[in-house]
Structure 1
């Protein structure tokens, strides 16, 4: 089998990307008032000009209570003019652009949103220090329909793709988690029941947009917490998603924004920097107990590859490899192992033009040191503090 060139054009459902590298969704912190800003447009324009095949706008909530904070975009007609300006700017640089759509579920900040966070089961949020409300069947139906509406708005705004967020214990992911989903109705218990929300959302989005844009989903391979979703169950969910035919690609991720965020990022845990981003009363708490929540994991290139191989062996649909992709050799390895696309984030925050330089000189080494001090900057505008 011929190994694809990562910098050659590639088909993703109904669209063609100029290469196989996707700028992964990283919340930008540049949407005050829950609409697009000039700063957000500039952020994605830089990545497009830097050479990615597609950049991903994060995070576009499908409902107002589905935001992790009130300044996140939620997909509504008022957001369309700014979203159109953004897609036009990215297209002018020759790249495609995707909207990450989803509902934050238990990760939502009910205090900031002025609306209760929702989860499969009632619980307490360590993020907002408020109760999380159990989602009713009507909530599930409404949120499923809201994903379809958000996808239609993405088409109207000129996006080339949508990425359905099914990871990190957001709403859809939380239903998949045995730890968070303690329901005794038709949405709880067996994996088939817990997967109903994910499968229903994927179907609703496909029915809403047809083949007008590409549809990806970001799926947790495992939650990284005791009692959470693990590889064997996630593999079965992926098989069901493939069987249904609603997705053009699956992006493989891991970790819980609610319970274990560093399981996705790996590397140093920037406790002091996170503490400094909060008001004084919370700051002390983060410094005292932050390491219980923000655990450090050793960084290595392609740190999710070992788990992702199991999905590659079990599925025929296109897969996007995420996690520790920063060197050309890693991208080539992913192509050789049968992954159709790779997704990058932190390395591009440090060097938005990294891909252009890698294409010109494959031995180019990234400057990112994986210190993760970019993570707390989501509160003030995501950027590399060393750039």
Structure 2
């Protein structure tokens, strides 16, 4: 809930706890696919990517898209967590811990966002649907699939705990598998997994409870949830409030990270700012590249003006509805925005593009606070980083004009 007026807001740059985990501050690097696992394994490049932001002062960095099953990858160049990935994952957590930062793993199943043709395994979702990624039909998940996937979340959690991760982030947003069950337009089922919101939220709750039962208090368990999917028939903010209440009542999670948009239906709703139509088309191949150049393809990337903390108003509705800790995400670039988030009653702030542009942003903001500086990030929200996920996620502006040494 929103803090009482006479209770001082916490300092975003001071140490804090997340469940059983001690953080050096309340900043979290949000999960963004790194594009550095060409063999589906932990690479030196992946470790270096997280070390750069960890050395830059972030409280916790998040490794993106650790898939629980082969069909749960967005495409074949992603990690499917299993015993054979343990050594590489352990090497990464140990390296990050040496910097003083904590490390989280985003645990997910891509569902209809998976490219079945790339993966060589047919994708699954709440209901049968065509895939614009693979040009195949996505299958409706069976009861057996849902039992298997829930077990895969548990097995993945077990491996990540052994590897030394401090937190597990369960991906319940962006129309990945769990999110596809939540969205009425994607979930047309007539069984116990469809229809009412309680039924559509069944998989999210089942997975969270199963993971918590497996890990106990060995690590923090959080979930990324949608404030709004940003399209008709997606999860609405009213529904998001109720989903948050359900997840809080179950008691399986230490925090919620509040996101939005749909990787399938409306990705720019999450990103805001400039729309890199040409760059996205150039990064594609074949019929998808052609499709991105058509008016229909261009309309897929809708334009939303950027503003600081653009999810704040919707996130405040969740803050008023639940007591559990919340992470505010979306357009957080200024120290003043972080301070306002703390005053609003949010416990953590999640950063993505801001630290892709400046990996040492958190340390710089701390120095500027001490010196009375403005505390403003240099990301210009051009979103040219978005198409680079296919060749190694990076900031092209930073490459073209590196910032001077601090």
User: What TM-score results when the alignment is normalised by the length of structure 2?
Assistant: 0.94
Distance in 1, matches of 2:258 and 2:143, equals 28
Asked if the contact 1:22–1:343 (Cα under 8 Å) also holds between the matched residues in 2, the reply is yes
| Equivalent of residue 372 in structure 1, options 379, 383, 389 | 383
Say whether residues 1:137 and 2:148 are aligned partners. Answer: no
Say whether residues 1:162 and 2:162 are aligned partners. Answer: no
Aligned residues: CA RMSD:
0.8
Asked if the contact 1:69–1:112 (Cα under 8 Å) also holds between the matched residues in 2, the reply is yes
Task: Give aligned pairs, total.
Answer: 387
Unaligned ranges ≥5, structure 1: none
Asked if the contact 2:126–2:188 (Cα under 8 Å) also holds between the matched residues in 1, the reply is yes
**Per the alignment, do residues 316 and 346 of structure 1 end up closer, same or farther by CA in structure 2, a change over 3 Å counting?**
same
Q: Which residue of 1 aligns with 2:350?
A: 343
* Deviation digits for residues 322-360 of structure 1 (CA, Å, limit 9, x no counterpart): 001110000000000000000000010011011101001
| Equivalent of residue 4 in structure 1, options 10, 13, 20 | 10
Higher mean displacement: 278-287 or 196-205:
278-287
Unaligned ranges ≥5, structure 2: 1-6, 399-406
* 1:252-291 matched pairs, under 5 angstroms: 252-288=258-294, 289-291=296-298
SS of the residue 1:121 aligns to: coil
Instruction: Please report how far the alpha carbon of residue 281 of structure 1 lies from its aligned counterpart in structure 2 after TM superposition.
Output: 4.3
Higher mean displacement: 357-366 or 4-13:
357-366
SS of the residue 1:215 aligns to: strand
Distance in 2, matches of 1:282 and 1:195, equals 32
* Deviation digits for residues 156-198 of structure 1 (CA, Å, limit 9, x no counterpart): 1110000000000000000000000000001000111101000
Instruction: Please report how far the alpha carbon of residue 287 of structure 1 lies from its aligned counterpart in structure 2 after TM superposition.
Output: 1.4
Distance in 2, matches of 1:64 and 1:116, equals 10
Distance in 1, matches of 2:247 and 2:287, equals 44
Q: Which residue of 2 aligns with 1:240?
A: 246
Q: Which residue of 2 aligns with 1:198?
A: 204
Q: Which residue of 1 aligns with 2:110?
A: 104
Say whether residues 1:250 and 2:270 are aligned partners. Answer: no
Q: Which residue of 1 aligns with 2:331?
A: 324
SS of the residue 1:386 aligns to: helix
Asked if the contact 1:252–1:320 (Cα under 8 Å) also holds between the matched residues in 2, the reply is yes
Asked if the contact 1:127–1:258 (Cα under 8 Å) also holds between the matched residues in 2, the reply is no
Distance in 2, matches of 1:216 and 1:202, equals 9
Asked if the contact 2:336–2:375 (Cα under 8 Å) also holds between the matched residues in 1, the reply is no
Q: Which residue of 1 aligns with 2:393?
A: 382
Distance in 1, matches of 2:70 and 2:289, equals 27
Asked if the contact 1:224–1:256 (Cα under 8 Å) also holds between the matched residues in 2, the reply is yes
Q: Which residue of 1 aligns with 2:233?
A: 227
Q: Which residue of 1 aligns with 2:182?
A: 176
Higher mean displacement: 185-194 or 278-287:
278-287
Q: Which residue of 2 aligns with 1:48?
A: 54
Instruction: Please report how far the alpha carbon of residue 365 of structure 1 lies from its aligned counterpart in structure 2 after TM superposition.
Output: 2.1
SS of the residue 1:371 aligns to: coil
Distance in 2, matches of 1:294 and 1:205, equals 35
Q: Which residue of 2 aligns with 1:149?
A: 155
Q: Which residue of 2 aligns with 1:298?
A: 305
Asked if the contact 1:183–1:189 (Cα under 8 Å) also holds between the matched residues in 2, the reply is yes
Instruction: Please report how far the alpha carbon of residue 280 of structure 1 lies from its aligned counterpart in structure 2 after TM superposition.
Output: 4.9
* Deviation digits for residues 262-297 of structure 1 (CA, Å, limit 9, x no counterpart): 110111111111111112543232111322211111
Instruction: Please report how far the alpha carbon of residue 80 of structure 1 lies from its aligned counterpart in structure 2 after TM superposition.
Output: 1.1
